[in-house]
Amino acid sequence: MDKILAGIAHFQRTIFPQLSAASAAAATGPQRPLALFITCSDSRVTPHLITQTDPGDLFGCQVVGNIVPAYGATYGGVSATIEYALAVLNVADVIICGHSDCGAMKVLLDPSSVEGMAHIKTWLLHAAAARLTVLENWPDEDEDTKLRLLTEHNVVTQLMHLRTHPAVASRLVGGKLRLHGWVYELHTGEVRVFDERSGAFLPAIPPGDEAP
Ligand SMILES: [Zn+2]
């Protein structure tokens, strides 16, 4: 805990006083986040850092495997977060962000590693469509390729689940909401974005466009 407590001290003394006026306003006024950002609980995935956003910008939901149960499948925290973000905060964008080297995706490829862990096994059933898609269509690929494909297809599966939520479905038809599927590469910092037309995940920032 020492590192964490020292971090609080540094934040209070040095960082907080330097926050932008927009950040200060966000801290005291009603929140108006730009997006709902659903991603994995993995400690290496840091939404504000990778998007360089401020307090107040992202309404967050970090959950194992960036999984979104279909509407009615469970009545849990993820569904409540979606409902609040849309019905109360009126966010215009929802991002589901998977990531490379995801432990949850590895478990899907090797379920024996969580034998006896009932909650994880049950939770990962919400990614069963992605798992079967990869195992049936790419049975001969190596494990690294399967892991990348599963990470991508899991994002696509969770986007499908997201569309079953009434607040999402209605706003999509009304043109008030956009959905985004991302994969964050831990080892390069790159973000790839799902392109519905091609079915591929393409760089969020095309090569050569990094500056400024
Ligand atoms: Zn993960």
What are the structural domain ranges in the chain?
A: 22-203
**How far apart are the CA of 25 and the centre of ligand 1, in A?**
32
Reported as a single tens digit per residue, the pLDDT across 20-64 is: 776 777 777 789 999 999 999 999 999 999 999 999 999 999 999
**How far apart are the CA of 169 and the centre of ligand 1, in A?**
26
Angstrom CA distances, 64 to 7, 79, 212, stand at 25, 14, 33
CA 196-170-200 angle, 5° bins: 10
- Which CATH homologous superfamily contains domain 22-203? Carbonic anhydrase (3.40.1050.10)
**How far apart are the CA of 30 and the centre of ligand 1, in A?**
31
Average pLDDT of the chain to the nearest whole number? 93
- Rounded to two decimals, the pTM is 0.93
What confidence category does residue 84 fall into, taking pLDDT thresholds of 50, 70 and 90? very high
The pLDDT score that the predictor gives to residue 17 is 87
**How far apart are the CA of 151 and the centre of ligand 1, in A?**
9
Gap between the Cα atoms of 126 and 109, Å rounded: 14
Amino acid (one-letter) located at 102: C
**How far apart are the CA of 45 and the centre of ligand 1, in A?**
8
